[in-house]
Amino acid sequence: MRKIRRREFLGLAAVGAASLVLTSCASGGTATDPDRPWQPLGPLRIPDELRADGGVFRLTVQQGTSEILPGTRTPTWGVNGPFLGPTLRMRTGDAVRMAVTNDLPEVTTMHWHGMHLLAKMDGGPHQPIEPGTTWEPSWTVRNTAATLWYHPHTHGATAQQVFKGVAGMIIVDDDAADAVGLPHEYGVDDIPCILQDRTVEDDGEMPFDTEPNFGQMGTEILVNGTMGAYLEVARTTVRFRFLNGSNARVYHLGFADDRELTLVATDQGLVPEPVRLTRFALGPGERAEVVAELEPGERVRLTTTAGEGRVDQGTFPVLELRVADDAARGAAVPAELPGAAPLDAPADATVRTFKLQGHDEINGRGADITRVDEVVPAGAREVWEVTNTVYAHNFHVHGCAFTLLDRNGAPGEAWETGQKDTVHLPEKSTVRLAVQFGPGTDPTSPYMYHCHILRHEDDGMMGQFVVVEPGTEDSTPRVLEAMGHMSH
Ligand code: C2O
Ligand code: CU
Ligand code: CU
């Protein structure tokens, strides 16, 4: 068995960039391993769409096996299938109920990343689902049109459960977004792309790396679980919904020929003004929607490249697009979109500071799920200042939307506009976020904030906050009781 550690991997990535001249190697499509140069191996898998059945989404988290490297079988986990899960489709205003059944041999949870809901519906470590049981949270969808996702948040086991394949996309639709004329035919000109990197051995084994390092990165880029993915398209205007569902990798995405793209949405939904750019970065947990202009009959590859201050290295293909000779022309992206304006910070906003230290501490403390680190009044707009003292992290806050005000005193990158819920912190950097919290209160159920490099989250780079009735902050208990139900 061939193991690739991070240091070695980074070296391979650099070599991979130089050796992307395709050979006739038949052993599979590899992004960064010079022994297996990338080649198109199979059509991009498009996850099934799942709509509520009588208001209920039924999700079963299960074990299975998948053919990732052609001709081999890999033990994987998934939702309603062996690997990854269906795309949940819901509309703003919908009353939804989830029925999440755990058919795994261990406890799990299911978190709705980016969704605005009460903390006890959030699926964090405080809502464990024991094997053989079903958890049924419900809420009314308050998010506007956006690309969100779901994944386990099991205390100390998130990295491994996501790595094995428990993750899926959520698409929220609303009337304003429907009316604006962006490509919206799912799987035709509106393409979900869940990006995950995995090392898959020649025998199909996909080992989870438990050795301490920055975080697990793989030699293959899978899109929706597809290695060496290509996509045949019959439209010239195509929207991609990218979700970085990787454990640690940061992508810097664009086309091989660096043509311009139009960014139309970030984590929390449409941006008011589309942004023209050639490349954009996505750290773990982040999403972006871009619209690409293609030419009939062409073949072009989406690639990821090294970026300034990013942990990623090298250049390699992610997805090959094959455009039909008679592809139909699509409509241009409008100059304005019905996206929410970026959040600003009132002069008197409460400022909280968070120091990310090593890979396992925030403000000098590791995670403790019985400790309430912060108490936030409902509906508050605050400034969160996050300082990263060492290597790169990706900071995520539950139960809110935020706008990146600045990074090291300068405006964020072009693709970090609008409202987000996850932000990249290159090594030794400080970001300031204008954070809008929701109206719901619950002094005893916390939300999480943490690094979305999943090993760091599991190792303790995570804190908790509760949202309470304004005026009750001082009387809110800082220690949570009744944690007897916790399995970890
Ligand atoms: Cu995507 Cu706290 O998680
Ligand atoms: Cu989340
Ligand atoms: Cu981190």
> Matching CATH topology for 179-328 and 351-487?
yes
Residue nearest to atom 3 of ligand 1 (CA): 113
What does the block give as tokens for 218?
Answer: 């793989």
Confidence bin at 31 (pLDDT 50/70/90):
low
- CA–CA separation, 319 vs 44, rounded Å? 8
Residue 482 has pLDDT above 90, yes or no: no
In CATH, 351-487 is 3.90.1150.10:
no
Average pLDDT over every residue of 241-262: 96
Ligand 1 neighbours by CB, cut-off 6 Å: 111, 113, 151, 153, 285, 396, 398, 448, 450, 452
Class of domain 179-328: mainly beta
336, 273 contact by CB (below 8 A): yes
- Residue 175, SS3 per DSSP: helix
What does the block give as tokens for 452?
Answer: 């979305």
What does the block give as tokens for 378?
Answer: 């409902």
31, 220 contact by CB (below 8 A): yes
Over residues 267-285, the pLDDT tens digits come to 999 999 999 999 999 999 9
- CA–CA separation, 126 vs 483, rounded Å? 8
What does the block give as tokens for 208?
Answer: 């989870």
The neighbour count for residue 474, using CB atoms within 10 Å, is: 7
Over residues 81-95, the pLDDT tens digits come to 999 999 999 999 999
Ligand 3 geometric centre to CA of 55 (Å): 37
CA distances (Å), origin 247, targets 1, 18, 165, 198:
22, 25, 11, 9
Half-sphere exposure of 434 (CA within 13 A, CB side): 18
Q: What is the pLDDT of residue 488?
A: 41
383, 405 contact by CB (below 8 A): yes
* Least-confidence region, from 132-146, 183-197, 295-309, 372-386: 295-309
DSSP 3-42: ---HHHHHHHHHHHHHT-S-----S---SS-TTS-----E
Residue nearest to atom 1 of ligand 1 (CA): 113
* Least-confidence region, from 90-104, 112-126, 179-193, 298-312: 298-312
Average pLDDT over every residue of 135-163: 98
- CA–CA separation, 339 vs 265, rounded Å? 8
Per cent of the chain over pLDDT 70 is 90
- Residue 115, SS3 per DSSP: coil
336, 272 contact by CB (below 8 A): yes
E strand intervals along 228-286 = 229-235, 237-244, 251-255, 261-266, 269-277, 279-282
Over residues 416-437, the pLDDT tens digits come to 999 999 999 999 999 999 999 9
Question: What value does the CA radius of gyration of the chain take, rounded to a whole number of Å?
Answer: 21
Ligand 1 geometric centre to CA of 245 (Å): 10
**What residues pack around ion ligand 2 (CB closer than 5 A)?**
113, 398
Ligand 3 geometric centre to CA of 466 (Å): 22
Domain boundaries along the sequence of the chain: 179-328, 351-487
Q: Report DSSP state, residue 69.
A: S
78, 40 contact by CB (below 8 A): no
Q: Which strand ranges, in their side-by-side order, compose the sheet holding 237-244?
A: 226-227, 220-223, 190-198, 237-244, 287-293, 261-266, 269-277
Confidence bin at 308 (pLDDT 50/70/90):
low
DSSP 184-218: --BTTTEEEEEEEEE---TTS------S-SS----
